[in-house]
């Protein structure tokens, strides 16, 4: 009994010293003063993903992780803050200390549309300082192989014959797919019923099962299914590398460019030097030929937009969406 008591005391002592050591170790790091950008980064950087683990944003971050760690010379900790189509994660980012030790993946147009359309999105687009945009997936329109629709021309004719009778599956409401659909209807001056789904997989399953006539899909999904579908048009500016046989909307006389861009952002007010440091790292990865090869094969369009360019791009898109949104929410 005595021995046990002694052992317990010793264990306690060891644990307590360990504990004290830990808290002492994390002390100065936690106090990292803002403005002190010399020698950045001094300790691990958190890379937050506002979507499910295993989603495209996560896969991209995991692809960048080893490169980032090599270039920045510190470890990158990937965490998840999921919910609200990304809104929860971006709300957290907007409220974080702007010291460059917390960044999050961003998706365009999500970060523009949510604050415009939701009463309580929790953040403003301007609160997220973009560092880089490194990937884009053009959105395309597909029909099943057995569909009577052969081309965009057929589609337009059918939509005008019977307004609202054609249905198109896409991901979510007030999202990139939804906006693309609305723009498409506006340019066509025809009505097609948009059917939102909770995710790309659900939309795909329902479309393959014959529940909707059309499908709005991201290029990477369309690439894996190119033998099952007939692709009517794609929303890239020029023909898409991975789908060379698919004409663009513009080629077919519909002035529509649509896609979803992925990038990374830090909280507003982060010192410029820190943003530059991160920007350099992300652009270096974006220029890596192996990364470019992998992304292209998976059906993405590699991009390398820096901080200033990304910011201007987001601003320009926001101006484009505002009138459209005003119609949706009077």
Partner 1 sequence: MRLLNKDVLSAIVLLAVSAVVYLETAGLNEMSAVFPRSIGLLLGVLSVIYLVFSLLKPSASGLWEGTNKGRLAAAAAGIAAYAGLIWLSGFLIASILMMFSFISLLGGRESRRPLRLLQAGAIAILVSGFFFVLFKYVFIVPLPVGILFGA
Partner 2 sequence: MTDYIPVVIEVLSNPLNLLLLVASLIAGIIVGALPGLTVTMALALLLPFTFSLPADTSLIAMGGLYIGGMFGGCISAILINTPGTPSAIATTFDGYPMARSGKPHHAIVTAVLASGIGGIIGALALLFLTPLLSSLSLAFGPPEYFWVAMLGLSMIATLSSGSMLKGLIGGCLGLLLGTIGIAPIGGESRFTFGLAPLVAGLELTVVLIAFFCIPEVLRIVENRITGERIAYRKEKGVVAQMWNRLIRRPFLLLRSSVIGVIVGIIPGAGGNVASIISYDAAVKFSKDKKAFGKGSYEGVAASESANNAEVGGSLVPLLSLGIPGAPPAAIMMGALMIHGITPGPGLFTSQAGLVYTFLWAFLLANVLLIVLGLYLSGPIGRIINIRMDVLIPVIIFLSTIGAFAIRNNFTDVVMMVIIGLAAYLLSRLGFHPAPIVLGLILGPIAEVGLTQSILIGQAKDHVFAFFFTRPVSVVLMVLCALSIAVPLADKWLRSRRGSGQRQGKEEAE
- What residues line the site for partner 1 (CB under 8 A)? 5, 8-9, 11-12, 15-16, 19, 23, 30-31, 46, 77-79, 173
Q: Go through 118-135 and write b for each residue having 16 or more CB atoms within 10 A of its CB, e for each that does not.
A: eeebbbebebbbbbbbbb
Q: Go through 205-241 and write b for each residue having 16 or more CB atoms within 10 A of its CB, e for each that does not.
A: ebbeeeebbbbbbbbbbbbebbeebebbbbbbeeebe
**Nearest distance in Å: CB 106, partner 1:** 19
Closer CB to partner 2, residue 231 or residue 275?
Answer: 231
Q: Which of residues 9-38 bind partner 2 (CB under 8 A)?
A: none
**Nearest distance in Å: CB 15, partner 1:** 5
32: phi > 0 → left, psi -120 to 50 → alpha, else beta; which? Answer: beta
Helices (runs of H) and strands (runs of E) counted in the chain:
11, 10
Q: Which does 74 bind (CB under 5 to 8 A by kind): partner 2, partner 1, none?
A: none
Residue closest to 251 by CA, chosen among 270, 267, 236, 272: 236
Does the protein bind partner 2 through residue 52 (CB under 8 A)?
yes
Q: Which does 225 bind (CB under 5 to 8 A by kind): partner 1, partner 2, none?
A: partner 2
Closer CB to partner 2, residue 54 or residue 269?
Answer: 54
177: phi > 0 → left, psi -120 to 50 → alpha, else beta; which? Answer: alpha
Determine the angle formed by the axes of helices 289-298 and 272-286, rounding to 10 degrees.
Answer: 70
The answer to whether 162 and 281 have CB atoms below 8 angstroms apart is: no
Does the protein bind partner 2 through residue 210 (CB under 8 A)?
yes
Question: Among 62-70, 127-135, 182-190, 314-322, which window interacts with partner 2 (CB under 8 A)?
Answer: 62-70
Of the candidate residues 32, 42, 44, 65, the single one contacting partner 2 (CB under 8 A): 65
Of the candidate residues 37, 40, 41, 87, the single one contacting partner 2 (CB under 8 A): 87
**Nearest distance in Å: CB 224, partner 2:** 5
In sequence order, what DSSP letters do the residues of 217-246 get, joined into one string? EEHHHHHHTTTTEEEEEE-SSS--TT-TTS
The Cα–Cα gap between 84 and 39 comes to 36
Q: Which of residues 162-191 bind partner 2 (CB under 8 A)?
A: 164-167, 172-175, 178
3-state secondary structure (DSSP) of residue 216: strand
Question: Among 30-38, 153-161, 219-227, 254-262, which window interacts with partner 2 (CB under 8 A)?
Answer: 219-227
Binding site for partner 2 (CB under 8 A): 52-55, 58-59, 62, 65-66, 79-85, 87-88, 91, 117-122, 164-167, 172-175, 178, 193, 195-198, 201-202, 204-206, 208-212, 223-225, 227-228, 297-298
């Amino acid at each position: 009994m005595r021995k046990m008591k002694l052992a317990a005391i010793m264990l306690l002592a060891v644990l307590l010293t360990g504990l004290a050591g830990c808290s002492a170790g994390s002390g100065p790091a936690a106090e990292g003063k803002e403005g002190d950008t010399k020698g950045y980064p001094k300790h691990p950087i958190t890379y937050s993903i506002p979507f499910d683990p295993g989603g495209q944003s996560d896969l991209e971050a995991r692809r960048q992780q080893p490169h980032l760690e090599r270039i920045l010379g510190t470890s990158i900790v990937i965490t998840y803050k999921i919910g609200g189509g990304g809104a929860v994660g971006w709300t957290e980012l907007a409220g974080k200390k702007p010291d460059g030790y917390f960044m999050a993946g961003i998706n365009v147009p999500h970060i523009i549309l949510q604050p415009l359309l939701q009463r309580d999105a929790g953040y403003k687009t301007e609160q997220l300082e973009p560092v880089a945009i490194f990937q884009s997936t053009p959105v395309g329109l597909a029909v099943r192989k057995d569909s009577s629709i052969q081309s965009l021309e057929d589609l337009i004719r059918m939509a005008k014959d019977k307004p609202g009778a054609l249905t198109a599956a896409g991901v979510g409401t007030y999202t990139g797919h939804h906006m693309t659909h609305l723009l498409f209807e506006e340019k066509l001056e025809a009505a097609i019923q948009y059917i939102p789904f909770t995710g790309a997989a659900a939309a795909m399953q329902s479309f393959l099962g014959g529940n909707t006539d059309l499908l709005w899909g991201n290029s990477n999904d369309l690439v894996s299914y190119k033998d099952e579908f007939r692709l009517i048009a794609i929303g890239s500016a020029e023909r898409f590398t991975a789908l060379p046989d698919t004409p663009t909307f513009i080629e077919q006389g519909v002035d529509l460019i649509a896609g979803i861009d992925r990038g990374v952002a830090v909280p507003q007010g982060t010192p410029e030097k820190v943003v530059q440091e991160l920007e350099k790292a992300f652009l270096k990865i974006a220029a890596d030929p192996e990364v470019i090869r992998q992304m292209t094969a998976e059906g993405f369009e590699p991009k390398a937009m820096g901080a200033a360019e990304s910011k201007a791009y987001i601003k320009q898109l926001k101006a484009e969406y505002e009138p459209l949104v005003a119609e949706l929410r009077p």
